[in-house]
Chain A
């Protein structure tokens, strides 16, 4: 295998592992917060339905955590195995947040174990609820720290290069790089949003399947409310992220918006298909919108792809990823808004089959948006691993067995993905809410 192939397979394997891990990681970051909110409401309102909600979410959560933990271990090791040159360089500068991430993970793991096994240990349910705070905090902080590492790859700083050697390393400067605030905020908000919509999807699905218990209605209202709050937050942060790109990574913004020529009062290109390199067809142009998105001023100048040498421009297909992400984000926000208005005005359309089906699709669609967003962020950084410093082709392993490892991991993720889905479905199908509520009554 020559180097080019090793780079190719390393990229595919990394992409595969991350794509698979992100599904479980997003749930891992968002769901503890939902469980906490449900349990808190249950205690505050003295409503056993919310407590049961917390319990059932936790049971499903543990399955996703297990896959998240093992795939997280996989990506952690794989970074070293597939990108040794990158890790050697990055290890010197960005090790601090990487290290802190494991502490956050450690913290979460300990308290999750305690939380799971002490449901009936404490007289006071509040004490038990307090255990969820370190779980949720640990989960969110590991996302924050690991996103800092990723942000560093987009905006490397905090060191100087002298004859290929790193000098004057400043770990905190590297951590708090310009890409960090928008990245971290966007990752957190979208993880909460996606988790909320996934739980809403489950509730809507149960109602479609003929379960009209008030439990599901409560679950649906709660999750959609949370989903709405975080989807609005995600959109606002997304706008800041656009302004960040205009200032610090204009080539990524130009590639994802198909903005070929530098101009003032730039229009935003929505949809469209690219032909013959730079002919845009079937697109919708919003005049001045790109200038507003980039600089908050309709007449501002936006740098186009003409300002960059061809070998430094990311692939132009990221435009489709950007559209997918934004479209889904807007779609579910509108859906959540309609549900809440409908609920407030006591309209019955929110319980009609077509509307419930729309809610069922919202969770999986959000996950698609998460994936599209990550592919956009990562492919948009090509051809660099460390923007402006280390090219992808110089960072990959020189090992000859990367292709074999790719097949090995494809097998692993197939098994884990299918098995976790089967286990989750069986878990809830064999023990519906109605039965569990009846059991609780029987005991109480």
Chain B
């Protein structure tokens, strides 16, 4: 396996990790705000708080990890994406900052007010939308180069149906992933009411999520035929992903094995995300930048891979520990242990 392939696979995996943990986080914030709005706060707020508190900071690190790794393995991306993304990424930073800080302020600092709960909940939906713009831009067609300046065509970007399909996909999948996870978590806590409510949300967001995912494929056909054709080459992966989707839905429908349902959901998204990534390869930005062009020197690649392996040796046991203490600890989940 070439170094480029290792590099991009590692990053793709971490991006996937971020998407899952961040979806749970953003969705949880939204459901929490929504439950306050509809006076159902007493049912699910406790569950959500208990999950989010120990891990909110870890979620943030996944994102940092991704973009630092990206610049490390593919310094060429810093030049292209750095120039183009000034405005969209700055808006994401501001939203992330307000959200992260206010989570800590309200949880630890006794800054209790409905206003912040709403701000926290609803800003969480803008973040996936603003971050997913990057995926749209990577499909190409929104950038022109004038002299040596790279310029992003905002009009083309916002007028494109592809942009909006990806934004809607990010929203529906955030809510779907989060609802399935929280159903499982609430059920583990033996909180019947919360589990029932989250199950209802999970079922109602399943269909929109899968429909928008199919919509992207249709949009790509018009926008980027090369990518579309490569997607068709791996059609069987999407079939597998769809089958996994049906299994999750079935399990939730019959109220059985929520843990398995969530695990299957993770694999469903992993397979689809992998298929999308493979078909995007070797382009980092159509058609300006490929994986090979943007790649760092061999010496740096080796150094980064060694650092990465060493880092994982530290991280995996630590992540295991935090999961064991908070996610898989019955006493904590049920609120008996502090």
Does A89 lie at the interface of the complex (its beta carbon under 8 Å from any beta carbon of B)?
yes
A105 and B64: CB pair below 8 A?
yes
Count, A-B residue pairs, CB within 8 A: 233
Contacts of B76 in A (CB 8 A): 88
B63 and A73: CB pair below 8 A?
yes
| Given A102-B64, A110-B58, A416-B97, A120 contacting B338 (CB threshold 8 A) | yes
Does A398 lie at the interface of the complex (its beta carbon under 8 Å from any beta carbon of B)?
yes
Does A169 lie at the interface of the complex (its beta carbon under 8 Å from any beta carbon of B)?
yes
Contacts of B53 in A (CB 8 A): 113, 116-117
**Which one, A61-69, A217-225, A347-355, is touching chain B?**
A61-69
| Given A92-B296, A109-B57, A166-B297, A430 contacting B67 (CB threshold 8 A) | no
- Most-contacted residue by chain A among B67, B68, B150, B297 (CB, 10 A): B68
**Which one, A31-39, A198-206, A373-381, A399-407, is touching chain B?**
A399-407
A349-381 vs B: 1/0 string, CB under 8 Å? 000000000000000000000000000000000
A103 and B71: CB pair below 8 A?
no
Contacts of B60 in A (CB 8 A): 69-70, 73, 109
Chain B residue with the shortest CB-CB distance to A95: B72
A353 CB to closest chain B CB (Å) equals 30
Report the separation of the CA atoms of residues A88 and B87 in the bound assembly, to the nearest whole angstrom: 19
A92 CB to closest chain B CB (Å) equals 5
| Given A80-B71, A95-B71, A114 contacting B325 (CB threshold 8 A) | yes
B108 and A62: CB pair below 8 A?
yes
Q: Is the interface of A mostly helix, strand, loop or mixed?
A: helix
B78 and A91: CB pair below 8 A?
yes
B307 and A84: CB pair below 8 A?
no
Contacts of A415 in B (CB 8 A): 98
**Which one, B30-38, B99-107, B174-182, B210-218, is touching chain A?**
B99-107
Query: A103's contact among B80, B111, B307, by CB below 8 Å, is which?
Result: B307
Contacts of B307 in A (CB 8 A): 96, 99-100, 103
Report the separation of the CA atoms of residues A208 and B100 in the bound assembly, to the nearest whole angstrom: 34
Does B287 lie at the interface of the complex (its beta carbon under 8 Å from any beta carbon of A)?
no
CB-based closest 6 A-B pairs: A91-B75, A66-B104, A84-B82, A95-B72, A423-B109, A87-B78
A-B contact pairs, 29 of them (CB 8 A): A59-B108, A63-B105, A63-B108, A65-B104, A66-B100, A67-B104, A73-B63, A76-B68, A82-B86, A84-B82, A87-B78, A87-B79, A88-B76, A95-B68, A95-B304, A99-B304, A102-B68, A102-B69, A106-B61, A110-B319, A111-B318, A113-B58, A114-B321, A117-B325, A171-B300, A172-B303, A397-B83, A405-B86, A415-B98
